[in-house]
Structure 1
């Protein structure tokens, strides 16, 4: 655990008592702070009480006593309107921060040169973060992985000169980290998302950009206009490197016949590793993730004065991928079953349909996002049949009507059964039963992880299936 010594002797309010909130409270208490913790939900308060964390009803508290409010990232800071705790904090001049800000202050106070790689972007954050950690571990480094993936950051081991902290950050977390200054800041891509929390895509992009603004080195994906503009602004003020899955770069990281290369300004290229045949890094979106990961690790090692001559190919080839993200879970003969439950919007599902361009038996639906699946029309030709589940069924049926054969399965179990039946009867070379819902899960499942695990269990129960390892 990382102790919040920078708050020693201070009184701190903590709101939101999920895993990160409880970890923050424990860190603060361990560091010598007095904590007043609260949650609107009884379950959160009970969980904190079981941990011995002091509970104070912040709606009735005297906010003039607080030095800071540590806010869970899921609580609105600005849009659609500030949460009541935010209003109280601002009215009393109390700073509002998150758990990663506590980490940043402890690193600055005790180990300012400890390697810290922070990753953000709209899509691909978790895969890129996990791949960075995997590459470094493959190279024998001491690695701590957390933030928006896996463990809350304050439950990790303390920053140290030879210990790499690899931290995924959402826009909500960046908004709560005013002194963010990673060794390498990675910005992957920008597409519209979380506009209910940021108001406009411009506001959303501005928050994301803070991660690379404060970095010692910025690694920026330039395959969208927002990323390109961020790179152009960053190069005026500090070290930056670009990566692209679409363009050849000099200088920068790009692809040459599926091989990751790093070129200097004279276009002299170093080959670092091939993505060909690596199932866990299939598709252009994963090529961008791999480019970002290689760039982040190599630039960080160079910045630290350490050798970047590591086994890139071995590290890439041994990456197991993440559950629920283009996860190949099993086969029946030549039929492949893929769990892409993490695809909760059309933009994410587009990546899967690009990766499997034909003979797709597509399980789609749930609680729909704005725009539905209309943006995916250009990929309908590769879909053999669609199986509609959840609240979106009638809307998606209208979109698919006349373009793609479909049936209203209603539930995931019915969809898996029907898709397996049809795929195994297909004459395609490698038919794919693809769960890529393009929707939130909340109509039928508590989260996308539970939806994906349900898919795995349903596939495992099919006659004749050979399952791959669980991620």
Structure 2
């Protein structure tokens, strides 16, 4: 745990007692603050009381007594409208903060000469893989590295700050919205496409939240920005003119001057006098596809900024085990390979997976995002057959139309069994791709549970067809 400094003896209101809320409460208490907790769920407040925290109905509280409001990322700051706690805090002149900001303020109190380094990663897609890849490369090079934030371990649950440590932190737009002084040594914005628009009041608000990752950086720090979408390309142009930070553009589609790029999977570093070849990412099984080439370019730029050699970075990439639910090959039954890409919760993420295969049997659906799968029309010819699940099944079949055969399977197990049966008929090497392009909340608690259910379905089908197990290729 990282004890939060700067609030000693002060009362800090905390609303939202999920993972980040309770983590912040423990860290604040360890640092000498008096956290005061509340949640609309009785079970959550009861659990907090059992842990020994002060629980108080914040609707009845005197907000003038609080020094800050710690808001969980899932609680609206501005849209669709500010949460009542935000309104109460602002009316009383109380600062509204998030867990990343508490981390930043604690880090700032560390002596500058041996302050730990921080790498922060955000973007619509690719955050988690890039975060994990950077952490793995640094660890492989012998660094004392801690990985967390919006992935895995909450940022305040990471090990206490020590000289020489490196913190690699995945940050969401919600967390960045609540960050005022966060100043990472290396910041990374992977890409931008419409997402979470209801929480940010539209695309402009979403972009503004993501841009906060660069807000406090200065000349001695590095900003890594993807150049493969219009939103980030515009941002690169703006920042080259107006921002003092060292800017490194990355691309998996084209050559970028003074940047890092991967053409057909071949990674090049062009930040020096001439472009240097680093590694063929196609040789790294866990970095398959153009989207992963961008992840690799970002990871290289970040690790290079932290002083690693080309050889150290390439070696770390080669041994990267990958992440579950992200283009994860979970096994095969006969000649049919199963790819678990449950993390693809929107169409743009699904595009990355679909673009990695010439032909495939597609399992998709769930709770549709704005725009559905309209933007994937150019990829419909690659679909041998679509098996559709969840609330979006009917909508997706209408969208695909006659471009590819469709079956409204509704349930994931049914879709997996039907996809296998259809793929197995060809007698050739085939791909069953589970890349839902939807949120999971209509049938599952989260994308992890959905991905686990897909793996379970594959295992059950393997048993039923009397194939000797499923070779587990992904971690």
The bucket for the TM-score relative to the shorter chain is over 0.9
Counterpart Cα distance in 1 of 2:38 and 2:363? 40
Residues 160-215 of structure 1, C-alpha deviations (whole Å, 9 max, x = no match): 33100000000110111100100001111111111101112112111111112323
Counterpart Cα distance in 1 of 2:81 and 2:160? 35
Q: Which structure 2 residues correspond to residues 210-229 of structure 1 after superposition, within 5 A?
A: 210-215=212-217, 216-229=221-234
Contact 2:190 2:226 in 1 (8 A): yes
Deviation at residue 47 of structure 1 after TM alignment: 2.6
Contact 2:329 2:474 in 1 (8 A): no
Counterpart Cα distance in 2 of 1:392 and 1:415? 14
Deviation at residue 369 of structure 1 after TM alignment: 1.6
**Are 2:261 and 1:262 aligned?**
no
Counterpart Cα distance in 2 of 1:111 and 1:79? 38
Q: 1:422 is matched with which residue?
A: 422
Counterpart Cα distance in 2 of 1:255 and 1:370? 31
Q: 2:470 is matched with which residue?
A: 466
Q: Which structure 2 residues correspond to residues 59-458 of structure 1 after superposition, within 5 A?
A: 59-112=59-112, 113-215=115-217, 216-235=221-240, 236=242, 237-264=244-271, 266=273, 268-301=274-307, 307-358=308-359, 360-428=360-428, 430-458=429-457
Counterpart Cα distance in 1 of 2:25 and 2:89? 17
Counterpart Cα distance in 2 of 1:164 and 1:80? 36
Contact 1:218 1:234 in 2 (8 A): no
Residues 2-58 of structure 1, C-alpha deviations (whole Å, 9 max, x = no match): 111211111110111111111111111111111111111123213322322211111
Contact 2:303 2:313 in 1 (8 A): no
Secondary structure of the structure 2 residue equivalent to 1:6? coil
Residues 362-421 of structure 1, C-alpha deviations (whole Å, 9 max, x = no match): 111111122222221211111111111111122122222322112221211111111111
Secondary structure of the structure 2 residue equivalent to 1:211? coil
Residues 254-290 of structure 1, C-alpha deviations (whole Å, 9 max, x = no match): 1245221111464x12222220232221111111111
Secondary structure of the structure 1 residue equivalent to 2:291? helix
Secondary structure of the structure 1 residue equivalent to 2:96? strand
- Equivalenced residue count is 463
Deviation at residue 225 of structure 1 after TM alignment: 2.3
Counterpart Cα distance in 1 of 2:125 and 2:420? 29
Contact 2:194 2:203 in 1 (8 A): yes
Contact 1:64 1:92 in 2 (8 A): yes
Contact 1:146 1:153 in 2 (8 A): yes
Shift in alpha-carbon separation, 1:152–1:239, aligned structure 2, 3 A: same
Shift in alpha-carbon separation, 1:309–1:326, aligned structure 2, 3 A: closer
Contact 1:143 1:164 in 2 (8 A): yes
Q: Which structure 2 residues correspond to residues 12-31 of structure 1 after superposition, within 5 A?
A: 12-31=12-31
Stretches of structure 2 lacking an aligned partner (at least 5 in a row):
none
Deviation at residue 62 of structure 1 after TM alignment: 0.4
Deviation at residue 357 of structure 1 after TM alignment: 2.0
Contact 2:364 2:435 in 1 (8 A): yes
Contact 1:111 1:159 in 2 (8 A): no
Counterpart Cα distance in 1 of 2:328 and 2:14? 37
Counterpart Cα distance in 2 of 1:145 and 1:56? 33
Counterpart Cα distance in 2 of 1:194 and 1:409? 28
Residues 46-97 of structure 1, C-alpha deviations (whole Å, 9 max, x = no match): 3322322211111110000000000001100000000000000000000000
Q: 1:304 is matched with which residue?
A: none
Deviation at residue 329 of structure 1 after TM alignment: 0.2
Deviation at residue 447 of structure 1 after TM alignment: 1.4
The alignment's TM-score, normalised by the length of structure 1, stands at: 0.95
Contact 1:367 1:442 in 2 (8 A): yes
Counterpart Cα distance in 1 of 2:453 and 2:111? 43
Deviation at residue 460 of structure 1 after TM alignment: 1.3
Contact 1:212 1:219 in 2 (8 A): no
